[in-house]
Structure 1
Amino acid sequence: MGRKRKGRDISGWLVVDKPAGLTSTAVVNKVRWALDANKAGHAGTLDPEATGVLAVALGEATKTVPYITDALKAYRFTIRLGQATNTDDAEGEVIATSDIRPDDATIKEALHAFVGDIMQVPPRFSAVKIDGERAYKLARDDAEFEIAARPLWVEELVMTDRPDADHVVLEMTCGKGGYVRSIARDLGEALGCHAHVVTLRRVWSGPFEATDGLTLDQIDAMARTPELDAHVLPLETGLADLPELRCTPEGAAKLRNGNPGMVLASDVEYGDEAWASLDGHAVAVGIYKAGELHPSRVFNRD
């Protein structure tokens, strides 16, 4: 029999406005301590120097993390023209330079190639696995390796400011698995001048906004109090992109046991993924088939 985790059985989401200089894991550990939660995880890693929305899932809400990970996200970032680094951000060593500085019109025109379905190669200093090893570990050892390009959906990529000749501010909305550092690197190559990320902020992720996030100072000040509990959003927030189906008490009982349960008629189609609720509380996520939800994830809450 497994050892019971220490802490409270608390489920929901806490939105953090992550500061620069901390890993996403460190933020999750801080939230878990502050809420005395027995289980916590995050929906989408931010680089240590990046800031912005980091949605921390608690308890049963960790089962909804994939739906936030798959959701669209928006980033605001500044790139430095004229320099390439080995990490594609300001933390790395400069490995190439250029005196070329494209004008605004040229930059805006080049952005079109990075919108829609694109193929992107992640940075060498990233958590991508290569034959079981993290790419950043191989890169630190100066190992020779290749990272395969992977598909990315970019909804929008626009230039919003040009503070000076060397710097450009961009905003991007994209799907799962996007690397802003790769966008900066590839844009610099397309412009013939090199580029890397200087600052990066995640503005929103799925239903979560950075402006609604708590700072770590606020979390520290409210730690282990009902005041912090009041900031925990419902588990159901993580299911905002899925259709909701209401079920009967009998259907809910079957779903909680992992069996198909009857749900009330709705406009979802056969084979659609959806979630079932009873009295507004999520019971399960699954596939809708002929009046029943076939569960893939069940929420165990009193």
Structure 2
Amino acid sequence: MARRRRGLPVNGILLLDKPWGVSSNHALQRARRLFQAQKAGHTGTLDPMATGLLPVCLGEATKFSSYLLEADKVYHTRVQLGVVTDTGDAEGEVVERHAVPFLSEADLEGVLARFRGEIEQVPPMYSALKHQGRKLYELAREGKTVERAARRVTVYDARLLAHEGDAFTLEVRCSKGTYIRTLAEDIGWALGCGAHITELRRLKTGPFEASGMVTFDTLEAKPGQVEREAMLLPVDGLVAHLPELTLDSEGLKRLRYGQSAPIDPASMGEGETARLYHGGSFLGLGVVRVAGEIAPRRLLSTATAGSA
């Protein structure tokens, strides 16, 4: 007999403003407890010292969280020149100090231009990437260093917001997999003095922006479950970039039995994925296997209810 999952069947997306000093997993578990949710997951880790946008997926939203992992992101970061740490951020141990040359804004802009576009980055040792089954940061804490292959990432823009002496602030718009700590370090070496970041705040990931963020203080001030759930975004927000198809009752019935549903052959091509709806309700995702037919790919539990 299957064990009953503890908690409430809460479904939706919480745009959490992750506070400084806590891990993404700690923030996730705290949010899950506040909503008493049966299931929860997040869509991209933020370091403990980082703050800002951490989309938390509750319930059925976890089925579609992988689509946000591929999303572009926007960060604000403050870069301290002349000081190098073992982690690339202010939480690490200082390992080198260098004199910072006089830098005009034009000097900075000239170097920043070299880091815009497609670039190569060597992932930092203090990261969650794995080497022979172990996370790199675990090896780093043991004083070990392993070779890491460079990765290609895209920095769509690195905009200088402020420059004060030996520090400056950037807004970085980048592709998935970009390490802002590494970007700051590489810029520092290009300036001849090294660097690390002292602040990092995520402002956007995919379609979600900082303007929709909610703090723990706000959540905890809500008097009850209904008021908290009213702050969640709908599940289909995670896949809003995909085309939309509406199915009739017969199409819904076929999906419930795991069968393909007929669609207009001109609406989508083979291999394309779409958001599926019936009566205005989100059903999940389907994929065109054969022209004129869409097969279920990932459906909500409510969409398959009644598929005896």
- TM-score where L is the length of structure 1: 0.94
Tell me what 2:183 maps to.
Answer: 183
The C-alpha deviation readout for 1:139-188, integer Å capped at 9, x for no partner, is 010113112112212221111111x2111100111121111111111111
- 1:43 is aligned to 43
Mapping of residues 44-83 of structure 1, within 5 Å? 44-83=44-83
Look up the equivalent residue of 1:73 and give its one-letter code. K
Q: Which residue of 2 aligns with 1:247?
A: 247
Partner Cα distance (2:28, 2:291) in 1: 40
* Separation (CA, whole Å) in 2 of partners of 1:116 and 1:253: 47
Write out per-residue CA displacement over residues 115-148 of structure 1, whole angstroms, 9 at most, x where no aligned residue.
2222211111111101111100100101131121
Q: Give distance in 2, aligned partners of 1:144 and 1:72.
A: 29
Distance change >3 Å, CA 85–CA 266, structure 1 → 2: farther
* Structure 1 residue 266, shift from structure 2 partner: 6.3
Kindly indicate whether the alpha-carbon contact (under 8 Å) linking 1:245 and 1:266 is maintained by their aligned counterparts in 2. Answer: no
In structure 2, distance between residues paired with 1:295 and 1:112: 45
* Equivalent residue, structure 2, for 1:6: 6
Q: Is the 1:248–1:262 contact (alpha carbons within 8 Å) kept by the matching residues of 2? A: no
Helix, strand or coil: the match of 1:52?
strand
Aligned to 1:285: 285
Residues 56-205 of structure 1 mapped to structure 2, 5 A cutoff: 56-101=56-101, 102-162=103-163, 164-205=164-205
Asked if the contact 1:255/1:284 (under 8 Å) is kept, the reply is no
CA distance in 2, matches of 1:144, 1:46: 22
Give 1:234 deviation, angstroms.
Answer: 0.6
One-letter code aligned to 1:119: E
**Partner of 1:206 in structure 2?**
206
The amino acid of 2:300's aligned partner reads F
Name the CA distance, whole Å, in 2 between partners of 1:234 and 1:2: 28
- C-alpha change, 1:151 and 1:224, in structure 2 (3 Å) is farther
Q: Which residue of 2 aligns with 1:23?
A: 23
CA pair 266-114 structure 1, distance change in 2 beyond 3 A: farther
Aligned with 2:65: secondary structure?
helix
Measured in 2, the distance between the counterparts of 1:145 and 1:11 equals 41
Secondary structure at 1:154's aligned position in 2? strand
Q: Structure 1 stretch 85-94 or stretch 170-179: which is displaced more?
A: 170-179
Deviates more, 1:148-157 or 1:216-225: 216-225
Give the superposed CA RMSD. 1.7
Deviation, structure 1 residue 29: 0.9
State whether residues 17 and 53 of structure 1, in contact with CA within 8 Å, keep that contact through their aligned partners in structure 2.
yes
For 2:111, the aligned partner's letter is A
Q: How far apart, CA to CA, are the structure 1 residues paired with 2:147 and 2:263?
A: 48
* AA partner of residue 167 (structure 1): A
Tell me, what secondary structure is at the counterpart of 1:158? strand
What is the CA distance between 1:281 and its match in structure 2?
A: 2.4
Please say if residues 125 and 145 of structure 2, whose CA atoms lie closer than 8 Å, have aligned partners that are also in contact. no
Q: How far does residue 246 in structure 1 lie from its aligned partner after superposition?
A: 1.5
Q: Structure 2-normalised TM-score? A: 0.92
1:264 to partner: Cα distance:
4.9
Unaligned segments of structure 1, at least 5 residues: none
> What are the superposed Cα offsets for residues 176-213 of structure 1, whole Å, 9 maximum, x if unpaired?
11111111111111221101111000011112222221
Distance 1:3 1:25 in 2: 25
Mean CA deviation greater in 122-131 or 288-297: 288-297
Deviation of the 1:2 alpha carbon: 4.3
Say if 1:158 and 1:172, in contact at 8 Å, map to a contact too: yes
